[in-house]
């Protein structure tokens, strides 16, 4: 039966991978697509990706197709899923850039109110990181933490991912501040143990969230174990959400500024439910098809709620009471949409957003250091807007270079040390 391509991106990708011309397909099942392409192209097998869909091209021709036309036969089959999902990278990069904008605006123009979107981004940009982290951990490790070897591989790779940059920004912060924090604080920060025993005793700005992440990683094997048992996982999610509700309604006081309750807010137990919800999003939505119109509608609705939901005053009002779960729901929806949307952006958008997403860890931790360093060099000789723009440029440049020259090579070392086969 003659049929046109239902997936325009796939058709365009095949045309690009082979030669220009007409393409036809049959769909005998969901796992394999037979494509007959008119004369041209290269024989062999290659792997490629269109949007978030990873496929292998197996070119077997030339041969006569079922319509009697000489051509080549191409089998297009899903490849093993990538550890990276493009749309999650996009969202991760946008969240990192939003936090940079929040901090730089706060440091130059004064504190941001809970009433305005930028103030909300400053609080819930990190929440998006946590949900994305949980979702990504499910995508990569959800079914790969069943043995001692797999668990060891997970911790080795996470250590190589987290600690090198943590060490770098901690030392840089100490040097720029010209203040020694003491051996205890230094030791806890360099080992990451501050996240377990002194979560507001971090040295570099923003590192409190990295301490939280390390706690979440310690819990992940248990979360993954529970995920294989539906009732246990439901209990797991309920427990962590319940702990989050306890902080939102009982521990944090909406009548006091967030700054005065910072130690309670950055307690990993107050943030862990975000990570668990992200893991749950991956588990529930894996393999589920959601129409594109529904995803886009959910995206628009979530952004509208984020911007116009009534709240004002100090940022404490965003993380207490009902507001805590309204904004958490927004973060979960945004991450779920990014997980399932599989957008195919043009290169002019895909490349910078993908690069920003890959370097988002560096952007998040380096931007305070860049701001301080540019300020020291400028010595007040430049207008503050110019200094801020220079700091943004230094942040982005240094972050991309740091990822490519420092972080990525160490990630590859971890992979070599922990082969999957």
Contact 5, 21 (CB under 8 A): no
Judgement on whether residues 274 and 389 belong to the same structural domain of the protein: yes
Residue 27 lies in a domain: yes
Domain that holds residue 368: 86-417
Give Cβ neighbours of residue 67 (< 8 Å, ≥ 6 apart): 2, 24, 36
57 - beta bridge partners?
Answer: 46, 76
38 - beta bridge partners?
Answer: 71
Domain boundary among 44, 78, 112: 78
DSSP string, 237-305: HHHHHHHHHHIIIIIS-TTS-GGGGHHHHT-HHHHHHHHHHHHHHHHHHTT----HHHHHHHHHHHHHH
Domains contained in the chain, number: 2
Which tens digits make up the pLDDT trace of 112-158?
A: 999 999 999 999 999 999 999 999 999 999 989 989 999 999 999 99
Alpha-carbon gap, residue 366 to 159, rounded angstroms: 19
Judgement on whether residues 351 and 318 belong to the same structural domain of the protein: yes
Judgement on whether residues 104 and 65 belong to the same structural domain of the protein: no
Cα dihedral sign, 380-383-389-393: negative
Alpha-carbon gap, residue 114 to 161, rounded angstroms: 33
Judgement on whether residues 162 and 32 belong to the same structural domain of the protein: no
Alpha-carbon gap, residue 32 to 28, rounded angstroms: 7
φ, ψ for residue 72 (rounded to 5)?
-120, 150
For the beta carbon of residue 147, count every other beta carbon within 10 angstroms.
9
Judgement on whether residues 18 and 127 belong to the same structural domain of the protein: no
Judgement on whether residues 32 and 149 belong to the same structural domain of the protein: no
Judgement on whether residues 17 and 147 belong to the same structural domain of the protein: no
Judgement on whether residues 332 and 366 belong to the same structural domain of the protein: yes
**Cα angle vertex 375, ends 371, 378, to 5°?**
135
| Tens place of pLDDT per residue across the chain (421 aa) | 333 333 334 444 444 433 333 333 333 333 333 333 333 333 333 333 444 444 444 444 444 444 444 444 444 444 444 445 789 999 999 999 999 999 999 999 999 999 999 999 999 999 999 999 999 999 999 989 989 999 999 999 999 999 999 999 999 999 999 999 999 999 999 999 999 999 999 999 999 999 999 999 999 999 999 999 999 999 999 999 999 999 999 999 999 999 999 999 999 999 999 999 999 999 999 999 999 999 999 999 999 999 999 998 999 999 999 999 999 999 999 999 999 998 888 999 999 999 999 999 999 999 999 999 999 999 888 899 999 999 999 999 999 999 999 999 999 999 999 977 5
Residue 185 lies in a domain: yes
Judgement on whether residues 120 and 240 belong to the same structural domain of the protein: yes
Judgement on whether residues 196 and 280 belong to the same structural domain of the protein: yes
Global pTM value: 0.81
Contact 370, 391 (CB under 8 A): yes
Residue 1 lies in a domain: no
């Amino acid at each position: 039966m003659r049929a046109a391509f239902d997936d325009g991106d796939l058709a365009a990708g095949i045309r690009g991978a082979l030669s220009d011309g007409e393409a036809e397909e049959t769909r005998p099942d969901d796992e394999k697509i037979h494509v007959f392409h008119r004369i041209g192209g290269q024989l062999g097998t290659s792997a490629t990706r269109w949007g978030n869909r990873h496929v292998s091209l197996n070119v077997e021709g030339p041969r006569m197709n079922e319509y009697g036309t000489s051509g080549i036969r191409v089998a297009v089959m899903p490849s093993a899923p990538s550890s990276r999902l493009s749309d999650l990278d996009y969202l991760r990069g946008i969240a990192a850039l939003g936090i940079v904008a929040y901090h730089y605006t706060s440091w130059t123009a004064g504190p941001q109110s809970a009433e305005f979107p930028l103030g909300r981004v400053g609080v819930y940009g990190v929440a998006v990181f946590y949900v994305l982290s949980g979702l990504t951990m499910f995508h990569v490790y959800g079914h790969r933490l069943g043995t001692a070897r797999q668990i060891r591989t997970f911790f080795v790779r996470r250590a190589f991912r987290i600690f090198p940059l943590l060490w770098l920004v901690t030392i840089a912060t100490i040097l720029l501040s010209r203040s020694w924090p003491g051996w205890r604080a230094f030791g806890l920060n360099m080992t990451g143990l501050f996240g377990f025993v002194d979560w507001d005793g971090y040295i570099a700005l923003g590192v409190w969230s990295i301490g939280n992440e390390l706690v979440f990683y310690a819990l992940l094997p248990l979360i993954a174990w529970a995920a294989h048992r539906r009732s246990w996982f439901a209990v797991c999610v309920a427990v962590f959400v319940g702990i989050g509700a306890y902080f939102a309604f009982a521990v944090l006081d909406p009548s006091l500024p967030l700054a005065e309750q910072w130690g309670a807010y950055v307690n990993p137990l107050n943030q862990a439910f975000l990570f668990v919800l992200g893991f749950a999003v991956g588990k529930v939505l894996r393999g589920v098809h959601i129409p594109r119109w529904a995803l886009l509608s959910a995206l628009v609705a979530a952004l509208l709620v984020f911007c116009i939901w009534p709240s004002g005053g100090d940022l404490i009002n965003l993380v207490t009471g009902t507001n805590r779960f309204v904004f958490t729901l927004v973060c979960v929806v945004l991450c779920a949409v990014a997980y399932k949307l599989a957008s195919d952006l043009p290169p002019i958008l895909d490349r910078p957003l993908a690069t920003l997403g890959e370097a988002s860890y560096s952007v998040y931790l380096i931007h305070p250091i860049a701001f301080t360093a540019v300020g020291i060099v400028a010595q007040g000789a430049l207008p503050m807007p110019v200094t801020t723009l220079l700091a943004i440029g230094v942040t982005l440049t240094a972050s991309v270079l740091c990822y490519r020259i420092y972080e990525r090579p160490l990630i590859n070392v971890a992979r070599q040390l922990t082969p999957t086969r």
